[in-house]
Amino acid sequence: MRIDVWSDIVCPFCHLGRRHLELALADFPQADEVEVIWHSYELDRNAPKVGTDKVIDQVAAKYGVSREQMVITHEQMAQAAAEVGLDFAWEKLVPSNSYDAHRLIHAARAEGVEEAVTTRIMRGWYAEGRAIGDPAVLRELAVEGGLRPQVVDLVLASDDHGIDVRTDEAVAAQIGITGVPTFVLDQKYAVTGAQPPQLLLQAIEHAWADQGNRPEAAAGGCGGGCCGGGGCGGESATDQVCSTDASGGCGDGGCGDGGCGAGGCGGICGADEEPVHSEGASPQREPAREVHA
């Protein structure tokens, strides 16, 4: 069975969701038969390579909430990360464009060092306050993660693997993904947000037991209420909750709490941009359905 995950390097919920998936698979007896494929997603493709303001100040201004409220939100996220062995030094975060980091991760996949390079880049941003939009910083982190210097230099001096990033984003748009993290199990069940490991495990068990059964396509992206609880969306910093039987999906950006997307997240992450459509992208895929674990 395969699990496809759409994620952005600079989305704290994706950082947490990645670890939750690791913990869920650690308790899944058939984990050796599960292939996890990570896909690029950019919350803000127009962000400068390196911003000048503090991330927390940018987010507070974007959603029109107080800095104090954002401090509370970030401290809660840091506590949740610490509980699963992750560092989230939100005070050190440097606003960064993630496009080049995504391209290097695709290059690392081709070189067989994707996990190590991804881990090093994420630790640099979340724990060390490194500006991963800065090519020099990104080069250092990627090489430390095991990617050959000549490969890093070639990627950063060109747009190599840009088509891979844009294809991932185009497929996300085709199947109705508008917030991250989004986990698509067996190419048919969608789980959004940094769900607890036990919930992810239940969803994986459900998808595993249901292998061979194909869903009927439904209108509205991922199908009738694919997002469920745990994704983020809407048009303001106030989370909106959709019913799982709503026809036509969840509307703008998904719904619930615990992920990132268009205007939601309680103000942790920025809004996603308009969907990207790229030549050479994968053909239209069958929408996924929500799994009720």
State the Cα angle at 147 between 144 and 152, rounded to 5°. 105
pLDDT of residue 216: 61
pLDDT of residue 268: 42
pLDDT of residue 147: 98
For 37, list phi and psi in degrees, rounded to 5: -120, 120
pLDDT of residue 59: 86
pLDDT of residue 213: 80
For 88, list phi and psi in degrees, rounded to 5: -135, 85
Low-confidence ranges of the chain (pLDDT < 70): 214-293
pLDDT of residue 217: 54
Measured CA to CA in angstroms, residue 97 lies from 9, 16, 51, 187 at distances of 9, 19, 8, 29
pLDDT tens digits for 226-267?
A: 433 333 333 322 222 222 222 223 333 333 344 554 433 333
pLDDT tens digits for 132-176?
A: 999 999 999 999 999 999 999 999 999 999 999 999 999 999 999
pLDDT of residue 76: 95
pLDDT of residue 150: 98
